[in-house]
Structure 1
Amino acid sequence: MKLLKKITLIAVAIIVMGALFGHFYFDQKFTPEKNALTVRGSSSRIPIVWEDSMTALLLPVSLKGIPEKFYMQLDLGSPTTLFYTAPLKSIQQKYGPKFNFSDSLSPIKLGFELGNMEVSSSRFKMLEYGDSIRWNDSDSPIIIGTLGTDLLEKRITVLDFKDNYCSFSESIPNEHKKYNWSDFEFKKRRILFPAEIENEKIKIIYDSGTSVFELITSKKSWEKYRNSGPILKGEGNSWGNKLTTYTAKTSKKIRIGNTNITLSEVTYIEGTSFLQRMLMKSSGMEGMAGNKIFMGKILLLDCKKQKFTIY
């Protein structure tokens, strides 16, 4: 009996230690590095460019001394602004000493202009991603990187999905002060909105990288929220990881902050990575909102004070 008790105690200790290790490992894994951006000035009414029927929200940027217009994806699911190796290598090959790029994944010192705002860092992360630039193809936007939520931590952000523009300012613009603001969580530089659907309070993460979807949920919630009828099966991509999406019509209403929104569709996804599933679990999120849910509305985010409004 004593031996059985000892074995039981050891097993419990192993489980507890494993749980603690897992908690600290994933907490550290999903904690972004300290914000390394330097931001000067503000910028209003930057035009939003949609890539391929809203698959990505792009903003125009310029690099000092280089005449071409480039674009970066505003991806609020990314806590860090970063650049892609393939297009930067093409710029290096064309402009040589004007552009200091070592063709590696080492952090890069770089600055760019976003409207009238200057953004720089001595250690932008590099990602082995993107396409080599076809300089003679003027119809395709040249995407050189991702704008993450470290930028939003520095500026109040207006996403106007009525007139398709984006603004970054140091204080709340006067015309927006009259609206009711709600609290949100900015955990590990990820945006978690309080929401309610069918009298159930949930947290949804806002990921502007999932532009074409309104609301992504678990399969269980998807079955609960969707209408009967046809299901649209599609393929997606998350940093090179292939996903399968299932989208169905719905007429459910969701309340995000102080704003009621009628949904037209709901989606669930198969093929997410283990780390993505752990991120969802550790953040407490029970759904994900893409840009489509805010179409025809204006979204303001004050990440420093963790306040937002939608109207």
Structure 2
Amino acid sequence: MKLFKKIATVFLVIIVLFLLGGYLYFQKKFTPPENYLKVLGIAENIPTKWISSSENAHSALLLPIKIKGIDRTFYMQFDSGSPVTVFYKKSLESIAEKFQNQLKIDTKNNTISTAFRIGKMDVVSNDFGVLNYGEKISFDNSNAVDIIGTIGTDLLEKRIAILDFKNNQCSFIEKTKEDDFAEFEFKKRKILIPSIIEKENLKLLYDSGTSGYELITTKEIWQQYRNKNSKIKTEKGNSWGNILTVYSASAKKKIQFEKSILNLSEVTYIEGTSELQKFLMKRSGMQGMVGNKLFLNHKLILDCQNEKFKLE
């Protein structure tokens, strides 16, 4: 009997250590790194640009930026699903080749020390991440839209974002009068906005990286919300080089964000995401993601530091 108790105790300890180890692993893996951005000044009424495809008119939201010492406008995608601001290696290499001594990539650590400007706002870091991604710059084409990186929610920790989709412009400011603002969660630099669909309370991730979609959810909820017998649109998506299959169908629902009620005309689900991503989605309590398309003709104000938002 004593031997059995000892064996049971050992197994219990092993299970506890395994669970604790798993918890610490996920905490470390999915906790964003320290925010190394230094932000000076503000940016007001910056014109935004949409990337369009044959299937989607709002595939990505771009912001114009300038790199210190280089007289050319580049673009970075605004991606509220990314907790960090990063640059694309292939794009930077072609810039460095033309403008020598302006950019120097730390290839060992995949980082770069540089600064970029949006309007009158400077964003500086000695440790911008560099991803093996992107394309060479079309220097011979003055009208080219050259995308050199992604702006993440680390910037939103430093500034209040005003995303004016109605007028295709945005601002990043330090203070605003917060009348009639509602609360949201900002966990691990993820923006989780409360909403209501068909009297059901939902927690939705605002991921502007899924820009051209109104609501992305599970296949089960997709079946529930979509119009029956509606045409299904199939697309191929790209998530940092990982090919996904995207299914969208028309819907006719109302989605409520605090006092604002929007029309939900399309619902989407994605195949190709990893089991780990699905697990993390469930663990966060998140029931889906909303992109920029849902907020067209509206203004979204996000104060991530105080976890307050307003939709106009």
The alignment status of 1:133 with 2:134, answered yes or no, reads no
Corresponding position of 2:273 = 272
**C-alpha distance in structure 1 between counterparts of 2:213 and 2:2, whole Å:** 57
The alignment status of 1:210 with 2:206, answered yes or no, reads no
- Structure 1-normalised TM-score? 0.93
The alignment status of 1:18 with 2:18, answered yes or no, reads yes
Conserved 8 A contact 2:163-2:299: yes
Corresponding position of 1:97 = 101
SS at match of 2:208: coil
The alignment status of 1:83 with 2:87, answered yes or no, reads yes
Per-residue CA shift, 1:213-272, capped at 9, x if unaligned? Answer: 000001111111111121111110101100001111111111123321120010010001
Corresponding position of 2:66 = 62
Conserved 8 A contact 1:92-1:100: yes
Bigger Cα displacement from structure 2, 103-112 vs 4-13: 4-13
Per-residue CA shift, 1:29-63, capped at 9, x if unaligned? Answer: 11011111100111100111001221110000001
What is the letter of the counterpart of residue 211 of structure 1?
Answer: S
Conserved 8 A contact 1:81-1:147: yes
**C-alpha distance in structure 2 between counterparts of 1:69 and 1:82, whole Å:** 17
Structure 1's 46 and 6: CA in aligned 2 closer, same or farther, altered over 3 A? same
What is the letter of the counterpart of residue 269 of structure 1?
Answer: I
What is the letter of the counterpart of residue 300 of structure 1?
Answer: I
Corresponding position of 1:220 = 220
Corresponding position of 1:195 = 195
Selected match of 1:73 from 74, 77, 83: 77
Corresponding position of 1:160 = 164
Gaps of 5+ in 1: none
User: What is the Cα deviation at residue 212 of structure 1?
Assistant: 0.7
**C-alpha distance in structure 2 between counterparts of 1:48 and 1:115, whole Å:** 12
User: What is the Cα deviation at residue 13 of structure 1?
Assistant: 5.0
Selected match of 1:113 from 111, 117, 122: 117
User: What is the Cα deviation at residue 9 of structure 1?
Assistant: 6.2
Count of aligned positions = 307
SS at match of 2:237: strand
**C-alpha distance in structure 2 between counterparts of 1:104 and 1:213, whole Å:** 37
CA RMSD of aligned residues (A): 1.9
Per-residue CA shift, 1:63-87, capped at 9, x if unaligned? Answer: 1111111000100000001111001
Conserved 8 A contact 2:42-2:120: yes
Structure 1's 252 and 19: CA in aligned 2 closer, same or farther, altered over 3 A? farther
**C-alpha distance in structure 1 between counterparts of 2:163 and 2:120, whole Å:** 17
**C-alpha distance in structure 2 between counterparts of 1:301 and 1:116, whole Å:** 20
Conserved 8 A contact 2:110-2:131: no
Gaps of 5+ in 2: none
Corresponding position of 1:145 = 149
Structure 1's 98 and 302: CA in aligned 2 closer, same or farther, altered over 3 A? same
User: What is the Cα deviation at residue 134 of structure 1?
Assistant: 2.2
**C-alpha distance in structure 2 between counterparts of 1:198 and 1:8, whole Å:** 48
Bigger Cα displacement from structure 2, 226-235 vs 275-284: 275-284
User: What is the Cα deviation at residue 2 of structure 1?
Assistant: 8.1
Structure 1's 293 and 248: CA in aligned 2 closer, same or farther, altered over 3 A? same
SS at match of 2:155: helix
What is the letter of the counterpart of residue 87 of structure 2?
Answer: F
Corresponding position of 2:175 = 171
Corresponding position of 1:301 = 302
